[in-house]
Every structure is written in C-alpha cells, then in structure tokens.
Amino acid sequence: MLDLKKIKAHPKIFVGYSDLTSLLTYFTDAVGLVTFHGPMVAKDFAHSDGVDLASWESALNGSSEWTLDLDADVESLVEGSGEGILYGGCLSILVASLGTPYEIRTAGTILFIEDLAAKPYQIDRMLMQLKLAGKLAGVRGIIFGEMLDCAQNKDQGYTLEEVVVRVIGDLGVPVAYGLRSGHVSRGNITLPFGVQAALRVTAGEVKLEILEAATTTAVSSRSAG
C-alpha cells in the first residue's frame, strides 16, 4: 500500500530498527533510498544514554566521510578488509524476507546483523538459512550487533561468537561482533544503509568507515531547522 514513486520523489529520513528492518531494506532495495538503522524516540531518546549522538549527527547532517567510534567491546572474529554498501538489520526479519517479493539483496554489501533474545541454535539456523539461500556468497564483510540476551543459558559451554565463526568463518570476508545498533544496552549507533562503507578487521582493532554522504545538504538543513 506504500506509494514508492512518491517516496522516491520526496525522500525523507526513515530511521528505526527491529521490525522496521523490513521497511529500511525495502526502501533501499526498491527505490535506492538511504535509510537509517538507529535510535527510536520512545525506546532510545527517552533515556539520557540511549543515543550515540556522534553517529546520529554524522549520518543525518550530510558528512561525506566519517568513521564510527567503536569501543573496545567490538570483537575481531575473522580478520580482513572489504568495501561495499552498508545494509542489513534484525536477523529474524532479514531471514523472514526470503522467498517473498521483498527478499533482501545482499550482494556487494557490508552486512550488519543484530537480534535480541534469540538462542544460539536459532542464530545458527538463521545464519545457515541465509548461507544456503546464497545471501552470504556476495557479501564483502559482516559485522554483528550486541546480540543482547542471545544465550541458551548462563552455563552453556560455548559462546555465540564461536557459533558465528563455525557457520560463516569460511566465507573469506572480515567478520566483527559487538557494534551497538538496534537492540542495545546503551548509546544506539546510527548506521546509514545504502551508502558505501569499508570494514577493516585486525587482531587488535575493528574499523567501520562511511565513505559517502547519507543525506543531501538540503535535507539536513530542513531537519536541523
């Protein structure tokens, strides 16, 4: 029921996460609109430490090149570097798109994946489904979110990071874990989907750089006013 021609002709800033992944990826895929995976008003802006303001401002004010300020909690799982279109969202919603007219388009992307309270065996199944569906074959890099409460139980003898490496560690692309965007404990980071980005993962550092502006000067001026 959405008028894509009108949305394309009058672009606005669409921002959110979780179930909104379906809209963010659809607008990016169908009309080439840059969308934003980031904080929502009731959940994040309602708290003093709910929003990462640096990424929010850089994403929305037309900054042409900027680097995300990733803290030490972001882990290096598979070393390497890659460039591609930043894209992704909530893993459950990404997988639910498969076989529908709104199926995600992941080729040539730096794929961001996050979820909340999904057990490791469910993450295993969903990642394997993406892999067997060919949706990971063309990615240039993968970076996971915080993956809050994604544990079987407190005494499980393995980590979710180990599950991730077992499933996708053979793709030959950099893989990192722990970027705070979407379902997060604090400081929700804004990620612009649909722009060129570079992911570099080494043993001691993870760097995600945004390589082009996500908004035009005119759009950012209106939003600032």
CA distance 225 to 223: 5
What are the distances in angstroms from CA 9 to CA 3, 6, 16, 31, 166?
10, 5, 21, 10, 44
Give the number of residues written for the chain.
Answer: 225
CA distance 138 to 111: 10
CA 84 to chain centre: 13
Q: Are strands 191-193 and 75-78 parallel, antiparallel or unpaired?
A: unpaired
Told to judge if 183 belongs to the known catalytic residues of this protein, a careful annotator would answer yes
Catalytic member of 58, 76, 114, 146:
114
| Helix residue spans in the chain (DSSP H) | 4-9, 21-31, 53-60, 91-96, 120-132, 160-168, 217-224
CA distance 23 to 45: 21
Phi, psi (rounded to 5 degrees) for 206:
-120, 130
Count of C-beta atoms within a 10 Å radius of residue 119 = 15
CA angle 128, 106, 54 (to 5 degrees): 105
Catalytic member of 37, 58, 183, 220:
183
Q: Which residues touch 148 (CB under 8 Å, ≥6 apart)?
A: 116, 117, 183, 184, 185
| Residues carrying an active site annotation | 18, 114, 183
